[in-house]
Structure 1
């Protein structure tokens, strides 16, 4: 009898487990069938595709099969059937995507009447120009000129299919000499001198000569300043002179100021022109770490002072240790600028350095409550533990269940589970685009429960709620990270910080530059590093595999660390911006406190990167339930480049 009861209990437990598994993944069987149908469609096995897809009409991703099938044969599908598909799935991402594909097809066919009927706003530039072509072809020219000028009046060449539209503007005498000069200026200042010369064909021979000289000034600014054309004080000459001096200042601030001091008295430059150029020269000097940069920034006329100039006045004063100037400059910030944690930190430091200890401690104590790089530095100054302030997102389970049950979220989840990541991200972006703040938080919680960390991180960021550290700082791959980090004598928190900053835990991330996977390795870097450390890598596509990416990424990170004497600050800068840039930024002859060196990194992206890596390391210490290492311990003084292996001769 006991055996029978045991069997019954065991059977009930097994059935409950199976039922639980089924309810947690109710579409598992359909998903397998769906992927078979998807494979058959891609391999042009249409008979197999039809047979398999017939069984999936109730599956949430069946519309995607319809979409892919129809889009792949769009030339052979009637307009009525395409329109019916768009109407059937109106409001879904595949409806918008099908509309876009249809518009391209209609443009290729020259069916402009249907194109204009189907067209909706917010399309890519190519389709915008096709729309204007359609208006020209059908004589529907209302609003055409204004829309076309918006596309024409930019500083770069547009796509080829805009040419007929721009020809229309030219043929109808819309492009005036004044408009030509506007676009030429845009092209020059956006680094497209060849476009400027092309546009100048519509000007007189005399004006074309000015544009050609302006083009030459881009690469030969010093020589251009000696041109005979510039001897006469006319507007074109002044404009090219200002541009040439600005180009010189980009690489040689001393020479720029020398040339400017010689030229300025000979021409009638306006106060605005003078102020703008002197501001830009002073900023260039700052980015070159010129010893007179702060002096030149302070000398810029008040009328030319803006937020960037105020920022670099503080940075250069910090760099040279002019603490009274730091106090003065932080007082000159706008109310919004003054709330920024970075300026609060440097003001507190300057107050302390100038003997205003009580006010400094008061400012540091308030800042130390912030959970970021400068907040942690303030806590280090006070010798206080870090305040993480973790506040998990509160939500109503019924509301979360309702959100998860919406068709768009079901489709996104299924695409994610099917590892069709690009389509999954497109679906996700579509369904969250108009969500309220509260629903964005719910969506982030949902993505986190699905282990879709990058969507959770990016979605909660859109809600501007940064308090749920468990959601924002995942600890996936814990076993691999600990083991690999230990093997390369790296802090696990460092590896996690790089993964979090580089990819937000998106294992199939690919940057515009081609960097791959969790730690964003360039294929060449991956191959070379794998070979050097005897890590098998038969194909760079394997860099998308988390364990392989973490192994090779950690090996590369260790290489970079060794090049900089295990200095995390410099290794982070090199990982982000490249060793050649870091070499230019290092002090020439004396060491520099790391905090002050970081403040002078000229690239916002790299400066933010360094600061985030350090802050994320502290947060990951907390996430791994270990004492947070004060970030100041990772910040030894920065030495001249000869001190580092990376720059040994």
Structure 2
């Protein structure tokens, strides 16, 4: 007799008798019953599922089962409301609420929707809530909210269409609101939305919008003197066109701006916005005009102030560097990077005693700049390792909390994505002291990446064993020996790239511990005369470390063994780094790193090198010093 012919009532009775889940079931038995119950949901066998679910009421994943069934039975309002009350503290309550609210909206049950809506940041649900208010007679309230949802430079979710359509048909949508969205759409590079908004315009606004759209699509129009003279009163359009042109032809944009800005009627905000963008672009391009241009920016923000220091560094003009550092805010001057450059500037301008004191103060900081300061005064690196000390049962008590029992069940069922989702849900409720315990628990479970990230949320930075794990030691040592790369540098790269997560995958497709793109993996396989297996092979720790180290060795060879350049190339690509090399004479490596145009790469290089210094101590080696690695960067 096949299982399909066995009466369902008999099947359930057998389950109760033989699985033992009704009385004192083991977790292993409950897991089997859970998988069977889950299968019945997929098969649509409601009676069997409901019977199975009854015997799993004390299983940690019981709320998940109920959620999975209820999301397929959204008309069961009473049961859904009971679930939202009984399991309000679980991850599944808000997941179910969102699906139920969408169902209520689709079925125009506006009163129930309004009663059970909770703000979550979901724009579609927010639109539906305000549309519910509109349908319930609170039109003025709903249209006020619609104005806020209207004023964005992108298309809102389709669920917002009824509410925004009501706004469009009402007198509340003024010409200024229409122009505001048109302007936001253009600045968000959404010409399609801008054209849609233009349909709501009347003359003369429509003709003006046509001009703006022309300049948006063809900013080179500004190079036509006849066109410029015909529109000299449109200073805002000229300023916008310069910003657009600068993205494709910076030299032409800068020349046009300097030639015509005084003759155009430009409001002060637009004028300063363009000056700011052009000055920052010069600085990022390492142009010698950058410092003088940044000096002209009125009321500069943090980005302008910091790039002014970098522009002065590019000049190696220490009086300018000192002046730019003095213009930083009090908070900015307390950051390690600017403390380091303050010390450097003091020494360079003949104030050696003050510079030495500044280096000494900074050298106690465990950071790239703290290590540079330590090298400057020839003292040891301050690692300040202070492991978190737990009471004997701290971690086990936390592990027994319901949220963490759910995590463990997902791990046991080999569903790592669900386990991680549940982990982040569980820890969001914890105070900092409990977060430290959670980090140590993740460390015990060998979840290195999760442990590190949890400790960040606890705002605790001194447990170096947790923050800098030594997993895959044999694979690292083998690759280091094979390719003559220091193992601390390999660990530094892995720590920055993936937090030592074997299965890390970036949005662009980089994979594994050293975040290799499949194309790079194939190249390394060919270079080593090895068969390329598959993209999935990059999740193999030994292979990923070998190929990543081989690639880093290749970059070191291309850039003359310069660790900072090779590390930057690992992040931003070797061709881009070649363009960032000095053009005339060598530049100090610390200056070159500080003036890397991309913030991500700048942070990447300093982090990899700092992590390598920590890892060499973890490896009980003292072979590396930043001052030895950071030789001057040679010209192209």
Task: Please say whether Structure 1 and Structure 2 have the same fold, judged by a TM-score greater than 0.5.
Answer: yes
* Matches of 2:37 and 2:556, distance apart in 1: 45
User: What is the CA-CA distance between 1:639 and the residue it aligns to?
Assistant: 3.0
From 464, 486, 489, the equivalent of 1:491 is 486
Q: For 1:124-273, what aligned pairs fall within 5 Å after superposition? A: 124-141=122-139, 143-226=141-224, 230-231=228-229, 237-250=234-247, 253-273=250-270
Structure 1 equivalent of residue 282 of structure 2? 285
SS at match of 1:625: coil
Moved more, 446-455 or 557-566: 557-566
1:451-488 deviation per Cα after TM superposition (whole angstroms, max 9, x unaligned): 12222111111222111111111111112222233223
1:538–1:187 distance in 2 versus 1, CA, 3 Å: same
**Alignment partners' CA distance in 2, 1:494 and 1:362:** 30
1:58 is aligned to: 58
Q: Which residue does the alignment assign to 2:436? A: 441
User: Structure 2: which 5+ residue stretches go unaligned?
Assistant: 1-24
Counterpart-to-counterpart distance in 1, 2:207 and 2:492: 54
- Residue matched to 2:79: 81
Rounded to whole Å, the distance in 1 between the matches of 2:468 and 2:90 is 31
Distance 1:29 1:494 in 2: 43
Structure 2 vs 1, CA of residues 172 and 33 (structure 1 numbering), >3 Å: closer, same or farther?
Answer: same
Q: Give the distance between the partners of 1:132 and 1:372, measured in 2 at CA.
A: 49
Q: CA deviation at 1:589?
A: 3.4
1:32 Cα offset (Å): 5.6
Q: Distance in 2 between matches of 1:493 and 1:174?
A: 63
Q: How many angstroms apart in 1 are the aligned matches of 2:165 and 2:119?
A: 23
Shift of 1:362: 0.7
Q: Describe the shift of the 1:561–1:416 C-alpha distance in structure 2 as closer, same or farther (beyond 3 A).
A: farther
**Secondary structure at the counterpart of residue 139 of structure 2:** coil
Kindly report the root-mean-square deviation, in angstroms, between the aligned alpha carbons of the 2 structures: 2.8
Contact 2:501 2:512 in 1 (8 A): yes
Q: 1:169 to 1:45 in 2, by over 3 A?
A: closer
**How do 1:311-350 and structure 2 match up within 5 A?**
311-350=306-345
Structure 1 Cα separation of the partners of residues 101 and 524 of structure 2: 46
- 1:115 and 2:103 aligned: no
1:607 to 597, 602, 607: 602
Distance (Å, rounded) in 1 between the aligned partners of 2:374 and 2:264: 54
TM-score (norm 1): 0.86
Distance 2:130 2:27 in 1: 47
CA contact (8 A) 2:475 2:541 kept: no
Among residues 516, 520, 525, which one is paired with 2:515 in the alignment? 520
1:304 is the counterpart of 2:299: yes
> Could you tell me which residue of structure 2 aligns to residue 560 of structure 1?
555
Map of 1:294 onto structure 2: 291
Please report how far the alpha carbon of residue 386 of structure 1 lies from its aligned counterpart in structure 2 after TM superposition.
Answer: 0.7
Query: Could you tell me whether the CA contact under 8 Å between 1:351 and 1:359 is conserved in 2?
Result: yes
Query: Is the Cα–Cα contact under 8 Å of residues 233 and 268 in structure 1 kept in the other structure?
Result: no
Match of 1:388, SS state, is: coil
Structure 1 residue 323 displacement after superposition: 0.6
Q: Distance in 1 between matches of 2:212 and 2:529?
A: 53
Contact 1:37–1:53 (CA<8 Å) still a contact in 2? no
CA spacing shift, 1:304–1:200, aligned 2, 3 Å: farther
> What is the deviation of 1:223?
2.3
- Compute the displacement of 1:509 (Å): 2.6
- Output the CA distance in 2 between the equivalents of 1:27 and 1:613: 47
Q: Equivalents in 2 of 1:34, 1:315: separation in Å?
A: 63
With structure 2 as the length reference, what TM-score do the two structures score?
A: 0.88
| Secondary structure of 1:231 counterpart | helix
Q: C-alpha displacement at 1:92, in angstroms?
A: 0.8
Secondary structure of 2:199's match? helix
Runs of 4+ in 1 over 6 A off after TM superposition: 47-55
* Cα 1:560–1:84 shift into 2, 3 Å: farther
Do the aligned partners of residues 628 and 30 (structure 1) sit closer, same or farther apart at CA in structure 2, a change above 3 Å counting?
A: farther
Correspondence for 1:595 among 583, 590, 610: 590
Deviations 1:303-347 (A, max 9, x none): 332221111111011111001111121112111011011111111
Deviations 1:67-120 (A, max 9, x none): 33443x336x62222333222211111111121222233334444343333321
